[in-house]
Amino acid sequence: MKRITMPSMAGGAVPTMDAAAVSSGLAVLVSELEKQDPRLREPLTSTTYARDITINAGGGWIEATSNFNVNYAAVGGGTDGSVGGVQNAIRRIQADVSKDVWPVLPYEITMSVKFIDVQRGTVTGRSIEKMYDDGVRLDFDKYMDANTYIGLPNYGTKGLVNQDNVAAVSVANGKSGKTEWVNKTIEEILEDINRTILDAWANSGYDNRAIPNHVLIPPQQYAYLVKTPFSVAGVNGSISMLEYLKNNNIAKDKGVDLFIGECRWCAGAGVGGTDRMVAYVHDDYFVDMDMPVQLQRAMTQPVAGTASYDSLYVANVGVVKVHYFEPFSYRDGI
């Protein structure tokens, strides 16, 4: 006689079922005595692209997007623009218009659901189609995250943290002789942030619109700023280093609320694998991304040869478009 044993229960009792009991359906009683968690645990992941860049939707199945830039110059006459006396030649304004073209790339993914699995879902109450749909959307979010921060290497595009036209500069050593923030005082960290903002502002001709309002740092540095208390003269108790930095920087003094957030793509993004701080103006006038076609389920059809329903998901997605490199700043070694 076949015997199926289960792990010992209270008092050392061991329930047994012979083959006849199993075939008669008594085994179902065991699963009925289980308390099943109805939740389906998905892979742990994180995407932050929607927080860090403006995405402009609409446009259809295009292959590229474009924008125009203009540069002005005054020619002729004196250099200071004055006339009369020693100078009576009148200068003439000229405009140089240029065009930027940005690629748009299709995103495609399929899913196949067996006919029998669809029918079983009506019995179990758990839809395999819904699981696949969630998986597609998770894959798309991860694709968008990589596209936003590091670009698509196979197509030669770049993201927010690795633009070739943005010079990377190492932060200065602190009193400890090291550049890492964990070894620096709050004043030294504030100097790193202020210097980053000031350099970007200066590179932009001190245009107040170009003062960076968005700073990305690796999660470890972000956690250090959040968890480390800091006492301020005249303030009861202590505040976090992060709160102090957000309220005492150059941008704040100019009326710009500075966002400082964690970004896992900044970890190891610097020269030599160092950690990078990225500062820029989070505004679609300065940097943005197009999504002419948002993710959609384009078609579903039965396939008799595989006894399944096959679906196609598509989207049309652009790349990170940096319109002004001047207010972009990279600081490595934090």
For residue range 61-73, list pLDDT tens digits in order: 999 999 999 999 9
Listed residue (122, 272, 249, 246) closest to 196, CA to CA: 249
Cβ(184)–Cβ(176) under 8 Å? Answer: yes
Q: Reduced to 3 DSSP states, what percent helix, strand and coil does the chain have, rounded to the nearest 5?
A: 30, 30, 40
pLDDT of residue 3: 47
pLDDT of residue 233: 65
pLDDT of residue 252: 96
Longest CA pairwise span in the chain (Å): 120
pLDDT of residue 125: 80
Cβ(276)–Cβ(290) under 8 Å? Answer: no
Beta bridge partners of 271: none
pTM for the full predicted model: 0.83
Q: Cα(107)–Cα(290) distance, rounded to whole angstroms?
A: 13
| Contacting residues for 91 by C-beta, under 8 A, at least 6 apart | 74, 75, 76, 77, 78, 81
Length of the chain: 334
pLDDT tens column, 121-140: 888 888 899 999 999 999 99
The three-class DSSP label of residue 313 is: strand
Q: Cα(249)–Cα(252) distance, rounded to whole angstroms?
A: 5
Cβ-in-10-Å burial (0-12, 13-18, 19+) of 186 comes to middle
pLDDT of residue 275: 98
Tokens of 324: 């002004």
Per DSSP bridges, beta strands 54-57 and 64-75 are unpaired
Residue type, 53: I
Q: Cα(259)–Cα(184) distance, rounded to whole angstroms?
A: 21
Q: Cα(149)–Cα(166) distance, rounded to whole angstroms?
A: 14
pLDDT of residue 1: 44
pLDDT of residue 14: 52
pLDDT of residue 81: 59
Mark the ranges of the chain whose per-residue pLDDT is less than 70.
1-31, 77-88, 232-237
